[in-house]
Amino acid sequence: MIPAPHEISIVFNVSDIERTERFYRDTLGLDVARQEGADPFWLTATLSETSQLIFFQSDDVRPGNTPIVVFDLKAGGIEDLITALAAQGVTIVTPVSEAPGGWSADFLDPDGNLLAFWQTGEKPVSLKS
């Protein structure tokens, strides 16, 4: 059985991370925190116990490629989940690969919307072992 996600992140690729930080902090009043692990730094803004915004600077920013809804897998097992989705005919865009702080994989919903799963590197990639 595929584990249901319990947390959600909305990930934005932005062209200017410092401008983004000022906007979300100063204009929208969100508690924005700088994170290490990407060059330059990346940002998080926690909205609730189960949802957050994440911002990465990218040279490939264009309408339609951001934001991405990312489901957090608390128990791990991302490899098992992506294998199960592929077996059900889901289009896997990016197989399980390293991401800041863990592992991620991108896939499409039936309408072609890009979604992703992420798990911390501290959890097992496969729950079958």
CA terminus-to-terminus distance, the chain? 15
pLDDT at 3: 67
Domains of the chain with CATH codes: 7-120 (3.10.180.10)
Q: Tell me the average confidence (pLDDT) per consecutive run of 10 residues in the chain, 129 residues long.
A: 76 88 87 86 89 87 75 90 92 93 90 86 86
Handedness of CA 44, 108, 74, 49 (dihedral sign): positive
pLDDT at 106: 93
Does pTM top 0.75 for this prediction? no
